[in-house]
Structure 1
Amino acid sequence: MTTVAPAAAAPGDLAGQPRYPFPDLPAPGERIEVAPGVWWLRMPLPFVLDHINLWLLESPTGWTIVDTGIASPEVQAAWETVLAGLDKPVERIVVTHFHPDHLGLATWLMARTGAPLAMTAGEYLTAHAVWHQSAGHGTEDMVDFFRQHGLDAERCARLAARDGTYRKGVPELPRRYDRLINGDTIRIGDADWQVITGYGHAPEHAALFSCKHDVLISGDMVLPRITTNVSVFAATPRADSLSHYLESVARYGALGDDPLVLPSHGRPFHGLGERVAALAAHHDERLADVEAACAEAQSAGDLLPVLFKRELDAHQVMFAMSEAIAHLNFLEHARRLHRETGSDGVIRFRRP
């Protein structure tokens, strides 16, 4: 199970040329206005992917927070600075999805501000399943799932040793929330923000789009320079997550001529249509590489060097295996590969 958002087991520049209108980055505890009443925060992460973008939406009566950051003393201190500088109360906290860098401090911020939480049911319930290690969402289930897909014993042991990382990033879960559903609108000041759910990276990721401001808060679904991790979970082992992801980002690509995109990682950018096309082309290339490699039977573990051209640490292996399985499941659903289980219990795929 993922322990931090995007994911990006394989960061790598893709084609397409996003345009960045804001040359400066906000320091922790500072904010930059990127559209009328829309403010950019940037908080640290303890990973190679070392930051997450959070957002403040202003109305005449108060503030809405979008995503919370991972639970750490540094992020809490940054939030204290931010909150001390707000001239109105926090009225709402929106979380795009269950990953720790997005949900980690939600309960703390709810207690600190008195504001209610809003998120989708899929993300709220998945957070509880992962936190409680239940219903196919625990570390043991994940490691067994990856073992079936050919991950070697040494790497499986390293993943098993990471048990408990989700609770470190999300030390306490919210016990209540306001449910967001695709197509809902959140009224903030004189602007409606439409909820657009997306799939493949997380079970029911919520992006927010304001037609008035021509702004898309894309969360982890569309990032300007790295690829969003596409995950298959042990609880849904045959899911066609990559198809779901590509269908989701295609919908975002149809939002107006050139909205300002506010991603969870990287800088705000213009060029959404080009970026969506580049992501589709990137995955087409990876699918072709996987299909070509499967002239002989290959497991997801066998294909890690095909998809990822560098050494992977345990954190990255978790994302990489999910991504490899997602590509194999896509090709199986498209009848471009067949699945077989060997006498050793390992699942492999080959071209028909």
Structure 2
Amino acid sequence: MTLCAVRATGRVASDETARASRTPRTPIYPCGEPPAFGEARELGSDLCWIRLELPFSPGHINIWALRDGAGWAVIDSGFADATTRAAWAHLLGPQGPFGQHERHPRLLTRLIATHMHQDHIGMANWLASEYGVALWMTQGEHAASLDAAREAQGALPEAHRALYRRAGWSERALAQHAARYPRAEAAALHALPADYTRIAAGDTLHIGAHAWRVVIGAGHSPEHACLYCPERKLLLSGDQVLPRISSNVSVWPHACDADPLGDWLGSLAHLAHAVPDDVLVLPAHNEPFHGLHARLADLRTKRERALARLLALLDEPKRAVDVFGALFARPVDGDVSLLRMATGESLAYLNHLQHRGEIESSTDAHGVAWYRRV
């Protein structure tokens, strides 16, 4: 397979297959095999691909490093655990690809966080304290992370009980969630650096010799930052668009009536308008790919088909926990963390249909919501 190559102009070139079609029907992966966990692979003189291990699905996260003057700016940081700390210690150590040497000062200049999920910002505070790396992120993501960290300091908030009881959880599932909540949340959430540089929609970030425009997405998280470089035809997409898997879009207890699926679908349309199809997409998970617009269309089509299946099921009243079969291929059983994720995503679909006026809901004497087609 022809790997990604960088021409003298600094633009990332695709392979012959990608050049043959401006809008491939399926993503094309021109960059070959990913690097091993904890290693970096150059995709040109000023772009590196790092892959870090995750202790949960999908098992990895991509970290992108962009040459930034004498050092490197990195996009996202990985999950805060001993494996990731060891990987960063190697990467930034004297023998690592970003280690500081007398003639090659290559340490990190800044960490640009796409969004607040812990596989993306978990190591931010450690990198800031150990290596003095400055954090850049949107205000919405920074605030949401601080709120989540504060909430996780106590027992299960009443808003959680109310949401999941309303969705149809059993008392046993509620008790299991309450028992694991403080431990699970505390293990996942880590404080962010107190100071950060705010980025916002339309901002231009000058990273090394190139300008990157901030393009904001929503639905997966509050104010997700993608970075687009027109000169190099590159899009750093974070979790907003992925080639093999779909971003989780869920309703959470602090905003139980929100329409995150509507926000996410709107973001797909915005990305298609703001970023041309000829970019190489550098996602947070899976491999770099060509075929942005086809992938955006495919993601929207799949969500609309799921909405149609759900709507057909609601000729009779259903609770959120009754609709999993219309939305998910795998059974949702046993694991309360899986139940939580499935419930959040199901509520996103139900809320979206309600916002479109296609279904209505009523609450019974036990505080459980029942949804039915209008």
Calculate the TM-score normalised by the size of structure 1. Answer: 0.91
Q: Could you tell me which amino acid in structure 2 is paired with residue 214 of structure 1?
A: K
Give how far 1:156 is off.
2.7
SS of residue in 1 equivalent to 2:151: coil
Question: Is residue 2:77 matched to residue 1:68?
Answer: yes
SS of residue in 2 equivalent to 1:284: helix
SS of residue in 1 equivalent to 2:317: coil
SS of residue in 2 equivalent to 1:256: coil
* Alignment partner, residue 337 of structure 2: 315
* Alignment partner, residue 116 of structure 1: 134
Question: Is residue 2:321 matched to residue 1:301?
Answer: yes
Give how far 1:147 is off.
1.5
2:250 and 2:156 map into 1 onto residues whose CA distance is: 15
Question: Is residue 2:352 matched to residue 1:333?
Answer: no
Question: Is residue 2:64 matched to residue 1:55?
Answer: yes
| Preserved CA contact (<8 Å) 1:199 1:245 | yes
* Alignment partner, residue 174 of structure 1: 193
- Pick aligned residue for 1:25 from 17, 34, 56: 34
1:142 and 1:267 map into 2 onto residues whose CA distance is: 35
2:37 and 2:269 map into 1 onto residues whose CA distance is: 33
Question: Is residue 2:41 matched to residue 1:37?
Answer: no
Question: Is residue 2:171 matched to residue 1:162?
Answer: no
- Pick aligned residue for 2:167 from 141, 149, 159: 149
Question: Is residue 2:284 matched to residue 1:264?
Answer: yes
Unaligned runs of 5+ in 2: 1-23, 99-103
Q: Could you tell me which amino acid in structure 2 is paired with residue 61 of structure 1?
A: A
* Alignment partner, residue 309 of structure 2: 289
Q: Could you tell me which amino acid in structure 2 is paired with residue 274 of structure 1?
A: A
1:234 and 1:330 map into 2 onto residues whose CA distance is: 16
Greater relative contact order: 1 or 2 (C-alpha under 8 angstroms, separation 6 or more)?
Answer: 1
Matches within 5 A, 1:87-126: 87=104, 88-126=106-144
| Preserved CA contact (<8 Å) 1:137 1:233 | no
Question: Is residue 2:260 matched to residue 1:241?
Answer: yes
SS of residue in 2 equivalent to 1:226: coil
2:123 and 2:108 map into 1 onto residues whose CA distance is: 14
Q: For structure 1, which segment, 167-176 or 58-67, has the greater mean C-alpha deviation from structure 2 after superposition?
A: 167-176
Residue 138 and residue 130 in structure 1: after superposition, are their counterparts in 2 closer, same or farther (change >3 A)?
farther
- Pick aligned residue for 2:92 from 75, 78, 83: 83
Residue 330 and residue 69 in structure 1: after superposition, are their counterparts in 2 closer, same or farther (change >3 A)?
same
Give how far 1:249 is off.
1.7
SS of residue in 2 equivalent to 1:163: helix
* Alignment partner, residue 247 of structure 2: 228
CA offsets, 1:271-309, max 9 Å, x none?
111100000000001100111111011111111222123
Q: Could you tell me which amino acid in structure 2 is paired with residue 68 of structure 1?
A: S
1:135 and 1:236 map into 2 onto residues whose CA distance is: 19
SS of residue in 2 equivalent to 1:98: coil
Residue 138 and residue 41 in structure 1: after superposition, are their counterparts in 2 closer, same or farther (change >3 A)?
farther
1:153 and 1:18 map into 2 onto residues whose CA distance is: 44
| Preserved CA contact (<8 Å) 1:43 1:54 | yes
SS of residue in 2 equivalent to 1:235: helix
* Alignment partner, residue 17 of structure 2: none
Question: Is residue 2:223 matched to residue 1:204?
Answer: yes
Q: For structure 1, which segment, 312-321 or 195-204, has the greater mean C-alpha deviation from structure 2 after superposition?
A: 312-321
Give how far 1:161 is off.
2.9
Calculate the TM-score normalised by the size of structure 2. Answer: 0.85
SS of residue in 2 equivalent to 1:31: strand
1:35 and 1:288 map into 2 onto residues whose CA distance is: 44
Q: Could you tell me which amino acid in structure 2 is paired with residue 202 of structure 1?
A: S
* Alignment partner, residue 8 of structure 1: none
Give how far 1:24 is off.
1.3
Q: What's the % identity of the aligned pairs?
A: 37
Q: For structure 1, which segment, 190-199 or 16-25, has the greater mean C-alpha deviation from structure 2 after superposition?
A: 16-25
Residue 134 and residue 100 in structure 1: after superposition, are their counterparts in 2 closer, same or farther (change >3 A)?
closer
CA offsets, 1:130-149, max 9 Å, x none?
11117999655334312211
Give how far 1:349 is off.
1.1
Give how far 1:106 is off.
0.1
Question: Is residue 2:289 matched to residue 1:280?
Answer: no
SS of residue in 1 equivalent to 2:325: helix
| Preserved CA contact (<8 Å) 2:63 2:74 | yes
| Preserved CA contact (<8 Å) 2:152 2:185 | no
